[in-house]
Structure 1
Amino acid sequence: MKIHLLLIFLVFFSAVKAQEADPITRMIEIAKIEKRAHEKLHRAERTSALTSASQNFNVNYYRCEWEVTPTVQFISGKVTSHYQTTAAGSSIAFDLANNLTVSSVTQRNVAIPFTQGNNTLTINFPVAFGTGVKDSVTVVYAGQPTGADGYFTVSTHGSAAAAKPVLWTLSEPFGSREWWPCKNGLDDKADSIDVYITHPSAYKGVANGIQVSQTNIAGSKTVTHWKHRYPIASYLVSLAVADYTVLNNSVMVGADNIAMQTFCYADGLANFTNGANIAMDAISLFSAQFGTYPFKNEKYGHVQFDGGGGMEHQTNSFMTSMDQGLISHELGHQWFGDKVTCASWEDIWLNEGFATHLQYMYSEYKQPQNTTSNRTAVVNFITSAPDGSVRVDNVNDINRIFDNRLSYYKGSYLLYMLRWILSDNVFKTAINNYLNDPALAYGYATTANLKSHLEAASGRNLTYFFDQWYTGQGYPSYQVQWYPVGNKVQIKLSQTTSHPSVSFFRLPVPLLFRNTVTNEQKLVTLNHTFSGQMFSEELGFVPNTVIFDPSVWLVTRNNTITKESGPLPVTFVSFQAECAGNGVTLKWETSEETGADRFEIQKSADAANWENIGTVKAVGDSKVLNKYEFTHPAPGAQRSYYRLLEVDVDGTKQYTRIIASSCIVLGAESQPDCLHVTIKPNPVKNRLIFDADNPGSGNLQAAIFTVSGAQPSAGLKNILVRAKNDIDISSLPSGLYLLVLSTDDQKPVQTVRFLKE
């Protein structure tokens, strides 16, 4: 996406900020440019639909023949669209602005009737067509594209005394129709394009892909032919004409020699030469993380323009100038935005959040000493307002789509938090699977598609995360209370939220405990599942200070850390569930109690909705070990979850951690027992190895299913379960599977997910 306000952070927090003489002034200038640009775009679009192209055909190929001169706001064009129908009918419609006049539409050199209106070109065929018909139409048109909206711009560069003309296009999000007939939405990529630019010979014409030829013709004109043989969204098609200087480079990525081609003004030569070197270095890093540059058979390049930032045109990023942050951001878009494009502007974070994240990945790779300060600054910006979701709730509002705080920075930080939750290795696996999914690669994707790949690679259900962080608004503020007890520490972790859309943010919370005298330290990660949760951690030393989230993985603000002067009200030593007789016995121990009144026992079937099932009186005030237990006589056949709510005499409350119990009925005697299944390792390669602790008298059988319930192989069912099990799964493709254990009568008693690598 074009970046204006985004450069505030690119410039200010980039490690190359010393190159900016006055970064604060630069930030103000860029903010003004962004505001003006969005106002223009909003004025241009708010009176009409964003796309009116018909949905009864898919474009396979565009042949675009354009004649322009960089001194005149005018375009003459001839666009031939090859397509295949997806539904029967007698007409198709393209997006095209009303101020561009169509002079003819032909099919195989035969004129076809058409109508123009409401920014739509409707082509009416004399004979109806069926589904699956392949054909083409040629549209000849001309006119003056609206210059005020910034989609098709004629301008100048250089000093006022020696100003030189330049023409450039920038179509994101809805502007393609303002200068050429196409499908303007996010539902159809042409498989390939050819672009023929007729322009004055004193200038160079640039478009996507690789240059095939330059042919001089009469009238001191040149036809420059570019071809691009990868699927491309209409808003990524680009055109520029100016007196460019050309730089040619290449970079080896593994066995691939990737061409780099830069078009810049003569006075920008030094800046763009240095920038090309940065881009080649970044291509190597991103290729190692996310697969080789996705358009390796053609090139990557830059084109200088005066749009106030950058735009990730496919293979050909348009750049106002070259600084590290902007270079890495636009390059990152070649994977996220170009190879895989958001399927709706609602999901623009799949483009902008990822590109921003890659921008910071490169910064952290090159200037690791700035990592903490840069992350802190970004989090402070995200939390500078209490509301706002990453999901765009109004796709007709361009300012909302390209909201820097939400679509760019909060979106990028969802990825930081997912890396923290899942680990970098699992995250990398998931994202590579997402980029290379045949249904998504060189096509369109939704947040649901990304979520599915993250869940498959991790074996986790991440619905809660996306409900809270993608759909929900705001952020958490943490209250940490801690008290050292010898080499251990008691912790009470509470949370408030900035917006009512989310009552609790579930995250693993890192705390760094330190002794500043002995220099001992230990990072403790607390799996925070409810506010007021108590923890007891073994440190091996006595801490005197605590640092919250030292590496800044989380989006938080206004956190407080309090060292208590005495023990926390109740210190839990243990809490566990045991199967006994016809029920579940819960056992817990406390090592210290202050003002404790009672323990309320709570049960849940889903670890979300809770009911009280009993109460046990607390000792009250004690500094010795106290043991408690409670038996739940009828837990049911399904897995149950339990927690304790400790209530003090003054009404203060705290919860324990949540524990799960799988007490089930096995065998003819129908006695409840606990079944424990452990898969090691998980993810699994070619052999599924698991232990099954089956205390019942009946036999168990195992079967393997896909997550959709299908059985991938007849040989992977009716497997007798033993204490130790080893199953050959080398024939299974990579993905997420279910190991289902059943009784002899096929009654499922335990299901465990595993990931096949």
Structure 2
Amino acid sequence: MTWGRRWYAGALAVALLLGGCTGGDPRFRPGAADAGDPYVPGAGNGGYDVGHYALTLRYDPADDRLTGQATVTATATAGLSRFHLDLAGLTVDRVRVDGAPAKHRRDGAELVVTPAQGLPAGKRFTVEVAYGGVPQPQPLPSAELGDGGFHATPDGAIALGQPESASTWFPVNDHPSDKATYDLAVTVPDGLAALSNGVPKGTESRAGWTTWRWSEGSPMASYLTTLVIGNYRVSTGTHAGKPLVTAVAAALPADGPAATSVARTGEVADFLAGRFGPYPFEAYGGIVVADERIRYALETQTRPVYGPGFFRGGRPNTEVVAHELAHQWFGDSVSLARWSDIWLNEGFATYAEWLWAEHDGGRSVAQTFDTVYAATDWTRPSVDPGRAGMFGDAVYQRGALAVHALRRAVGDETFFRIVRGWLAERRNGTATTADFVGYAERVADHPLRPLLDAWLVGATAPTLP
């Protein structure tokens, strides 16, 4: 081979590597390897929008091994020569795009896929990924909360975590700005439950293994997915014409405070629907785990998961149930476009706790407000609190103070009209703080930004309207 031919061959190889098999076609470019959210660097991806995940999984607690087949249906939002999926620590055996074998490689927690042909903007495509391995947990932003992600337990596993967790057990665009619907079939040894989100689609047993099927037909942010496997007392029924599935770890008392608390899920949801508008999903539920490493509760869509610490002391705790169920509206149905606005989730969910406590014979909202107001550190903002402050009091408690200040400023009738209208308009979508403030101002028909700025980010204690 002459030098000129060698140079040409080398240049062609580079072009194919960079652009897939698109021959350097300028219509196609690599998709972004990051959603661009500084609170979760490296999470999420660009260039496509996922519509649906179909997951077929098998998990054996004997060796903690997970095997999976994921089919991701997406639409290209730009011409793609290659694209990324988030996948941490698992081995990929095979990738196909639209049925054709695709090249793939790992780059840390990224799965980089190069299809045989470029994907034009607007094209709907499917990605099939066969993978497996022993999933691992991952640290959460707050050390107090421990780890998120996929935890092996003595009798099964728990996949859970915020702001990230899904990428520890399936390939995903792991950012709440890209919501999708889900179908999941998970096979586990007979005698174990395999619990997830959405509507139960039945179980089937064969040769010592049972497959549990779940379907979530409303768009769901990836961190709101969960998979809980183990020995659980599962209760099934209906509420308001929709499936209600609750589960409590068999290691916890059958008549203890955990079971008593989640048994009131339907009642609490109905109370919140009276304040916020119709319940936004097709199923209800809750799961209480016994693993002490889960030191938080999470609003996993349709079926929140509660750590055991919320039910110590021998008495029920329905306020945490109210908090996580309120998230079904604030955070799940209307999700964050970016994590710096997390107060939109937590401030309203905390305020829902206050509303429920008053309704259930506890302290009044005014009493709770006075206590929290006196203890608030006004130097810490609710909006854009920094990654280390995502789960701090400024987001939860100061956020709830701002909600009550808005209520006082506009009056009950206008306040609840704002809340219900906001949730109806943004249902199944995403939003920012600026979106909420703009909507509230339109409904109230007067400026509210100065008020909310003072309560959310001001450095001194404001006066209650």
Q: Distance in 2 between matches of 1:49 and 1:299?
A: 29
- Say whether residues 1:106 and 2:96 are aligned partners: yes
Equivalent residue for 1:153, pick from 151, 154, 165:
151
Q: Distance in 2 between matches of 1:469 and 1:374?
A: 16
Q: Distance in 2 between matches of 1:303 and 1:65?
A: 24
Q: Distance in 2 between matches of 1:131 and 1:283?
A: 41
Cα deviation 1:605-657 (Å, max 9, x = unaligned): xxxxxxxxxxxxxxxxxxxxxxxxxxxxxxxxxxxxxxxxxxxxxxxxxxxxx
1:369-518 pair list within 5 angstroms? 370-382=364-376, 385-394=377-386, 397=387, 399-403=388-392, 405-437=393-425, 440-476=426-462, 508=465
1:542-581 pair list within 5 angstroms? none
Alignment match, 1:263:
247
Q: Distance in 1 between matches of 2:451 and 2:218?
A: 34
Cα deviation for residue 358 of structure 1 reads 0.4
State the AA in 2 paired with 1:381: A
Cα deviation for residue 186 of structure 1 reads 2.6
Cα deviation 1:128-160 (Å, max 9, x = unaligned): 12111111010111122223633111124xxxx
Cα deviation 1:492-542 (Å, max 9, x = unaligned): xxxxxxxxxxxxx6x53xxxxxxxxxxxxxxxxxxxxxxxxxxxxxxxxxx
Alignment match, 2:32:
none
1:88-237 pair list within 5 angstroms? 88-97=79-88, 99-147=89-137, 149=139, 150=147, 151-156=149-154, 165-190=155-180, 192-218=181-207, 220-237=208-225
Cα deviation for residue 359 of structure 1 reads 0.9
Aligned pairs, how many? Answer: 409
Q: Distance in 2 between matches of 1:58 and 1:330?
A: 27
State the AA in 2 paired with 1:66: L
**1:51–1:185 Cα contact (<8 Å) kept:** no
Cα deviation 1:671-720 (Å, max 9, x = unaligned): xxxxxxxxxxxxxxxxxxxxxxxxxxxxxxxxxxxxxxxxxxxxxxxxxx
Alignment match, 1:348:
342
Cα deviation for residue 345 of structure 1 reads 1.0
- Say whether residues 1:60 and 2:51 are aligned partners: yes
Cα deviation for residue 326 of structure 1 reads 0.9
SS where residue 118 of structure 2 aligns?
strand
Q: Distance in 2 between matches of 1:359 and 1:329?
A: 5
State the AA in 2 paired with 1:62: Y
SS where residue 357 of structure 1 aligns?
helix
Change (3 A) 1:90 1:371: closer
**1:378–1:409 Cα contact (<8 Å) kept:** yes
State the AA in 1 paired with 2:442: A
Cα deviation for residue 111 of structure 1 reads 1.4
RMSD: 2.1
State the AA in 1 paired with 2:433: T
SS where residue 418 of structure 1 aligns?
helix
Going by fraction, where is strand more abundant, 1 or 2? Answer: 1
Cα deviation for residue 247 of structure 1 reads 1.5
Q: Distance in 2 between matches of 1:303 and 1:78?
A: 28
Alignment match, 1:479:
none
Q: Distance in 2 between matches of 1:74 and 1:50?
A: 28
Q: Any unmatched runs of 5+ in structure 1?
A: 1-46, 157-164, 477-504, 509-757
Cα deviation for residue 368 of structure 1 reads 5.1
Cα deviation 1:101-152 (Å, max 9, x = unaligned): 1111013443110111131111111211211111101011112222363311
SS where residue 216 of structure 1 aligns?
strand
State the AA in 1 paired with 2:264: I
Change (3 A) 1:475 1:49: closer
Alignment match, 2:76:
85
Q: Distance in 1 between matches of 2:110 and 2:362?
A: 51
Change (3 A) 1:285 1:459: same
**2:57–2:67 Cα contact (<8 Å) kept:** yes
Q: Distance in 1 between matches of 2:138 and 2:115?
A: 35
Alignment match, 2:234:
246
Q: TM-score, normalised by structure 2?
A: 0.83
Q: Distance in 1 between matches of 2:43 and 2:353?
A: 35
**2:344–2:433 Cα contact (<8 Å) kept:** yes
Cα deviation 1:380-416 (Å, max 9, x = unaligned): 332xx3411111242xx2x31111x101000011001
**1:52–1:93 Cα contact (<8 Å) kept:** no
Cα deviation 1:284-311 (Å, max 9, x = unaligned): 111111111111x333333434312311
Q: Distance in 2 between matches of 1:106 and 1:79?
A: 11
Cα deviation for residue 470 of structure 1 reads 2.3
Change (3 A) 1:71 1:335: farther
Q: Distance in 2 between matches of 1:176 and 1:143?
A: 15
**2:137–2:168 Cα contact (<8 Å) kept:** no
State the AA in 1 paired with 2:248: C
Rg (Cα) greater in structure: 1
**1:389–1:474 Cα contact (<8 Å) kept:** no
State the AA in 1 paired with 2:137: G
Equivalent residue for 1:281, pick from 258, 267, 285:
267
State the AA in 1 paired with 2:353: Q
**2:199–2:214 Cα contact (<8 Å) kept:** yes
**2:53–2:72 Cα contact (<8 Å) kept:** yes
Q: Distance in 2 between matches of 1:72 and 1:312?
A: 29
State the AA in 2 paired with 1:364: E
- Say whether residues 1:365 and 2:359 are aligned partners: yes
Cα deviation for residue 73 of structure 1 reads 3.6
Q: Distance in 2 between matches of 1:279 and 1:250?
A: 11
Moved over 6 A (4+): none
**2:398–2:456 Cα contact (<8 Å) kept:** no
**2:39–2:340 Cα contact (<8 Å) kept:** no
State the AA in 2 paired with 1:234: S
Q: Distance in 2 between matches of 1:355 and 1:184?
A: 23
Cα deviation 1:544-601 (Å, max 9, x = unaligned): xxxxxxxxxxxxxxxxxxxxxxxxxxxxxxxxxxxxxxxxxxxxxxxxxxxxxxxxxx
SS where residue 79 of structure 1 aligns?
strand
**2:355–2:365 Cα contact (<8 Å) kept:** no
State the AA in 2 paired with 1:268: P
**1:168–1:239 Cα contact (<8 Å) kept:** yes
Cα deviation 1:229-273 (Å, max 9, x = unaligned): 110001111101111111134334xxxx24321111233322344
SS where residue 390 of structure 1 aligns?
coil
SS where residue 219 of structure 2 aligns?
coil
